[in-house]
Amino acid sequence: MTRQTETLEAALPRAVGARVTGAWVPIRNLSPQHRPRISDHLLALNERDRLLRFGMLATDEQIRGYVDHIDFERDLVFGIFDRRLEVLAMAHLAFEPAGDQPGTVVEFGVSVSERARGRGCGARLFDHAVTHARNRGARTMMVHIARDNTAMLGIVRRAGADVQFDGSEAVARLLLPQDTLGSQIEELVGHQAAEMDYRIKMQVLRLDRLRPPCLRQLADKH
């Protein structure tokens, strides 16, 4: 791992209880080329997490079908990558289909790999999605949440969402403010920085592959 990557990695808080609230986390826009990495991330979720994420016990086949059908033209998909460019966390912001009051309501779904939980990734993806949704003119963000999903309920409540319970489910509705010059600049700067972080990680991985195996093992230990 190079010094640059170490510095960027250091921005990601390490453990529960060690959350660094102000630290920057690179969040990248995902595109169709990332479908395999998105699949790997989602297929690694256990049964309970699949239930929380999709509202049903999604099978591997259903998850693959979901990933194949993500409409990257209409929707926004964000990801946080580790240094091996595996997806640590991802969020899907689904826009209403065109023709049905386009762009006014968006639906948010998120998942964080078990090893990365409790470090603020979920909350950061939510904040990031809010900025992107308002910058595209959305006025309401909705999240379907299981009644016992304390972490997700915490995230939406902190943002000021109205939460309505119905049986074992809850629906959170967050009214989004209009975009401002500040929210547009925030998106632009965040995008460029995350892009640079991704390119550095990709370059490091490429260099790593060129090293002889003995040196690769040494680097992994440090």
Ligand X SMILES: CC(C)(COP(=O)(O)OP(=O)(O)OC[C@H]1O[C@@H](n2cnc3c(N)ncnc32)[C@H](O)[C@@H]1OP(=O)(O)O)[C@@H](O)C(=O)NCCC(=O)NCCS
- Applying CB under 6 A, which of residues 141, 145, 161, 174 lies at the interface with ligand X? 145
Q: Which residue has the tokens 């979920």?
A: 122
Question: Contact region for ligand X (CB under 6 A) — 62-70, 71-79, 141-149, 194-202?
Answer: 141-149
Residue 144 CB: number of other CB atoms within 10 A?
17
- Selected binder of ligand X within 24, 35, 49, 163 (CB under 6 A): 49
158 scored as a contact of ligand X (CB under 6 A)? yes
Query: Contact between 23 and ligand X (CB under 6 A)?
Result: no
Give the 3-state secondary structure of 50-109.
HHHHHCCCCCHHHHHHHHHCCCCCCCEEEEEECCCCCEEEEEEEEECCCCCCCCCEEEEE
Select the residue whose beta carbon is closest to ligand X and give its number: 122
Binding footprint of ligand X, residue count (CB under 6 A): 23
Task: Using the rule CB under 6 A, give the single segment among 48-56, 73-81, 165-173, 203-211 that binds ligand X.
Answer: 48-56
Q: What share of the chain is helix, strand, coil (3-state, %, to 5)?
A: 45, 20, 35
**Minimum separation from the CB atom of position 182 to ligand X (A):** 22
Question: CA 107 to CA 110: how far, in whole Å?
Answer: 10
Task: Write the binding mask 100 to 129 for ligand X: x where contact by CB under 6 A, - elsewhere.
Answer: ---------xxxx----xxxxxxx------
- Residues at the interface with ligand X (CB under 6 A): 49, 52-53, 109-112, 117-123, 143, 145, 149-152, 154-155, 158
